[in-house]
Structure 1
Amino acid sequence: MSNKTIVITRPSGQARQLSEALQASLVDSGFTKDTVPQIISLPLLTIVPKGDDVLAGRITAALKSADLAIFVSPNAIECTMRLLERSWQEVSDRPLPIGVMGGSSLAALNNHGIGLEGNATKIILPQSNAQWDSESLWSELQALNWEWSTKKVIIFKGEGGRDWLAETLKQAGAQVEAFSVYTRVPLDLNSSAWNDVHEMDFAKSLWLLTSSEAVRYLGQATLSLDLASAMCPHHNIASAAEQIGFGKVFTCEPGDEALIAASRAWLSV
């Protein structure tokens, strides 16, 4: 096995999906038992869905009169649909379009049949996967030419996180209501999940970083990050990686396919 290591820092379920896809891609591209890298899962944050009936009732009531719903992440979609326990087209008194930041969220919606109905739910997302973020979604929303002062927007998110889009919509005149449908719990710094990380060669490691919050938490650990490399699918994440001291910081386009391609390119050097 190669002495190179790839560290996946997503929550466990999402990390497993990316790890399996990465391993399959490496095998397909000719990597052998002697050349394949070690792949470590280090779930820096755990997603904990909220599940109280009061929150579910408030969300159901708000959606009845909404004009647009925005999900900030696939986690927001999964946790919201768990709370609602009904099909999307049943939640509103009118066809309710959805805004998302990128392809992973689109896939999460499709997994729930949203956007695939006979009279398909309208899904709005940035057209370029190089710009899957809230700023680009706002550009797409502006292209609708809506009179925002007459619109009610519901945003589904995690506890904390960026409020840029909500503030931008409010400044445009929209009525905005945000619901936190999950919390993020940081990985205990004494967890055994860190063991493999402490034993690896940091100079031959690539960290796949997909959350600025997770990166900031990683900075609290005592690690030789100045020897390590980071791969980031967004400039905000790259900036956070630089701030906590990664020796080399690379950027790639968003999405698992881009992360996998970038990892393969790093391994070939």
Structure 2
Amino acid sequence: MTNLSLQPMRVLVTRPQPQADNLANAIRAQGGFALTLPLLDICPLPESQPLRDCLQQLDQYHKIIAISVPAVEYGMNMIENWWPQRPVGIDWYAIGEATANALQQQGITANARSGGVDSEALLALTDFQQVNGQRILIIKGKNGRDKLKSTLTERGATVENLVVYERVCPDYPAGYLPQQLSAHRIHVIVATSSQIVNNLQSLLNHHPDADNLKQLTLIVPSQRVAEDARACGFNHIAISEGAGTPEVLDTLARLSDTVS
């Protein structure tokens, strides 16, 4: 992680809490200005019968994949209700270093692709090349990408989803986001997922200054999210090496010398 000053940077942080405050505090610690305005809320889902069926059969899975930090938080709470002692002999995997760290805090050592923050990175692991006949569980949020399940199914695995949370857009008043961008003279927006980008577009749409505001620089964590951002009309995009705080700070530092 860079130690360069971020003093010229005025950044909008849109990730959910508490991650938003963590990133904003790190930006401020390096001299930058950070405004937090989460464009995703994470809400746990109640137990359903399909969810209970997955939990009861947890010991039948060869591999378990956690998609995100909320997947670990809410998924492990549910698992512990059914399995005070977790079944052994299961290989655990995580998308991204933050998710792997969250599992480590639960006492689980997870495999993760170094530097990889999406499904494609995980699917490139050697462990997922030959999965014919294996049973795999994916702990995830509602309406997330289905790339993992579809690809692993094509490779011969039996794959189930354990859906433990949903992402919703916070209910901000009309015009609130553009007002905050202008009032705080924001010139960089951190958008760490495609859903955040879509919510950003929705909150800017129909505003008289929407086209100008879409000229602000967006920091995104992958080429896939960058493509979604371009489709939403954002033209100035910086791709970081991941969605974590160190990667975002490094990207801000690279941008800082372009800001007067």
Return the alpha-carbon distance in structure 2 between the equivalents of residues 40 and 192 of structure 1: 17
Contact map agreement 1:60 1:91 (CA 8 A) in 2:
no
Q: TM-score, normalised by structure 2?
A: 0.84
Distance 1:145 1:73, change over 3 A: closer
The match for 1:10 among 15, 20, 25 is 15
Cα distance, 1:193 vs. partner? 6.4
1:134 partnered with 2:134:
no
Determine helix, strand or coil for the equivalent of 1:99.
strand
- Structure 1 segment 1-269 matched on structure 2, within 5 A: 4-24=9-29, 26=30, 31=31, 36-37=32-33, 39-52=34-47, 54=49, 57-85=52-80, 90-92=85-87, 94-115=88-109, 123-127=110-114, 129=115, 131-140=116-125, 143-144=126-127, 148-190=131-173, 194=177, 195-201=179-185, 205-222=187-204, 223=210, 224-254=212-242, 255-269=244-258
Distance 1:45 1:149, change over 3 A: same
Return the alpha-carbon distance in structure 2 between the equivalents of residues 85 and 161 of structure 1: 24
Cα distance, 1:238 vs. partner? 1.1
Deviations 1:179-237 (A, max 9, x none): 21101111224179635234233xx5101110101101211122333330011110111
Deviations 1:81-103 (A, max 9, x none): 122236989332x4111111211
Return the alpha-carbon distance in structure 2 between the equivalents of residues 189 and 58 of structure 1: 37
Return the alpha-carbon distance in structure 1 between the equivalents of residues 145 and 200 of structure 2: 19
Determine helix, strand or coil for the equivalent of 1:170.
helix
Determine helix, strand or coil for the equivalent of 2:56.
helix
- Residue identity over aligned pairs, in percent, reads 25
Return the alpha-carbon distance in structure 2 between the equivalents of residues 211 and 65 of structure 1: 32
Aligned residues: 245
Cα distance, 1:75 vs. partner? 1.3
Distance 1:132 1:12, change over 3 A: closer
RMSD of aligned residue pairs (Cα, Å): 2.5
Structure 1, unmatched stretches of 5+, are 116-122
Distance 1:41 1:88, change over 3 A: farther
Distance 1:55 1:251, change over 3 A: same
Distance 1:87 1:139, change over 3 A: farther
Cα distance, 1:136 vs. partner? 1.8
Return the alpha-carbon distance in structure 1 between the equivalents of residues 48 and 216 of structure 2: 45
Which residue does the alignment assign to 1:119?
Answer: none
Contact map agreement 1:88 1:114 (CA 8 A) in 2:
no
Contact map agreement 2:92 2:108 (CA 8 A) in 1:
no
Contact map agreement 2:55 2:82 (CA 8 A) in 1:
no
Q: TM-score, normalised by structure 1?
A: 0.82
Which residue does the alignment assign to 2:207?
Answer: none
Structure 2, unmatched stretches of 5+, are 1-6, 205-209
Cα distance, 1:46 vs. partner? 0.2
